[in-house]
Amino acid sequence: MALVVAKTAATACLALAGLVAGINPLITAGLAFGALGDFALAQKGQRAFLAGLVAFAIGHLLYIPGFLSGFGAPMAPPLWALALLPLFLSTFYWLWPHAGALRLAVTCYAAIISLMGLAALMVPPGEARELLRAGVLLFVASDVILALRLFRLTAPRARQIASLTLWPLYFAGQGLILLAGLSA
């Protein structure tokens, strides 16, 4: 239980820092939904997983307009943003057959996080842009590793390595999103 409280509180502190600093309220709300998602995912069972998935999806949906409005006029995404499409479409190959009853929810989440990544790529040049892009990249990487751990990895050692990798990537990603908001 202490680990659940520590993880949830750590992310909640990022949201609180955003609130106190007065960053874009959509980004602050996205951080807050991340804390709710952390709490839900720390619980056991499919209902808790779905609650966490929904909380994170709402957070990403808040991040999208926060990114597009909080850093200056959005620009056209770079051509290499097309890499997000095969990443999303690949989920039908490596994730869909293994997600069982969660297929639709996981696929919707993958689409939402891909759109969040696209929004981050549309942030105009400036000090905050690279922080934001790095934060979103780490967040997406943590979600890919989480999906692998939940639906694909069976070897105990591989699952353990994935578990140890998730939190640092995710928390650093959220932290960089906060720092980007502070730099905007």
pLDDT, tens only, 17-36: 999 999 999 999 999 999 99
DSSP 14: H
Q: How far is CA 143 from CA 31, 72, 86, 131, in A?
A: 15, 27, 16, 18
- Please enumerate in sequence order all residues whose Cβ is within 8 A of that of 137, keeping only pairs 6 or more positions apart, or say none: 117, 173
79, pLDDT greater than 90: no
Angle at 84 between CA 81 and CA 88, to 5 degrees: 165
Does position 117 have pLDDT exceeding 90, yes or no?
Answer: yes
Instruction: Give ∠ CA 132-182-146 in degrees, rounded to 5.
Output: 40
- The span from the CA of 85 to the CA of 79, in Å, is 12
Give mean pLDDT, residues 71-89.
87
Rounded alpha-carbon distances, angstroms, from residue 115 to 39, 60, 118, 149, 183: 24, 8, 5, 23, 22
Structure tokens at 19: 């609130």
Structural domain boundaries, residue 41: 2-183
Domain count, the chain: 1
